[in-house]
Amino acid sequence: MTAVRPDWDHLFRRARAVARHAYAPYSGYHVGAAGLVDDGRVVEGCNVENASYGLGLCAECALVCALHASGGGRLVAVAVVVGRDLDDLQPGKPCGRCRQLLYEAGGADLLVSARHTVGELLPDPFGPDALR
């Protein structure tokens, strides 16, 4: 398969668009994530909160579900945007749990918000290799 190159403008546009669908009535904090898959697809996710606060789902978690639900593959690049004002969303960083999810779906070389690799965000990770 030919290597795909991230179009960051496109990924951030998609992340900002999907953040508008976030269900965040408790935190008021909207998160959108858009990821490029190694076959060229783009998958998305937004955060979905719950009245039972601890059950809320992060945007990156939804993105990883969308990755598998649409056929799987490996993530190459993920843009994450965050904020309270939907018209002023800024590039964001995934929480610890989401770093782990992204590591599983894309490995240490996966690029996040054009700033970091997952390897930088999650040093010395626990991952699939540990279970082989």
Is 56 an interacting residue with respect to ligand THU (CB under 6 A)? yes
Question: Is the Cβ of residue 95 or residue 108 nearer to ligand THU in the bound state?
Answer: 95
Q: How far apart are CA 115 and CA 27, in angstroms?
A: 26
Which segment (26-34, 68-76, 111-119, 123-131) binds ligand THU by CB under 6 A? 26-34
Taking alpha carbons only, the member of 7, 5, 102 closest to residue 62 is 102
Active-site residues, by number, are 60
Contact residue for ligand THU among 18, 19, 31, 78 (CB under 6 A): 31
Among the candidate windows 2-10, 24-32, 69-77, 115-123, which touches ligand THU by CB under 6 A?
A: 24-32
Q: Is 72 left (phi over 0), alpha (psi -120 to 50) or beta?
A: left
Contacts for 70 with CB less than 8 Å, ≥ 6 apart: 41, 43
Interface with ligand THU, residue 106, by CB under 6 A: no
- Count the site residues for ligand THU by CB under 6 A: 13
The Cβ of residue 113 has, within 10 Å, a number of other Cβ atoms equal to 21
Which residues are 75's β-sheet partners?
37
Using CB under 6 A, list all residues that contact ligand THU. 24, 27, 29, 31, 47, 49, 56, 58-60, 94-95, 98
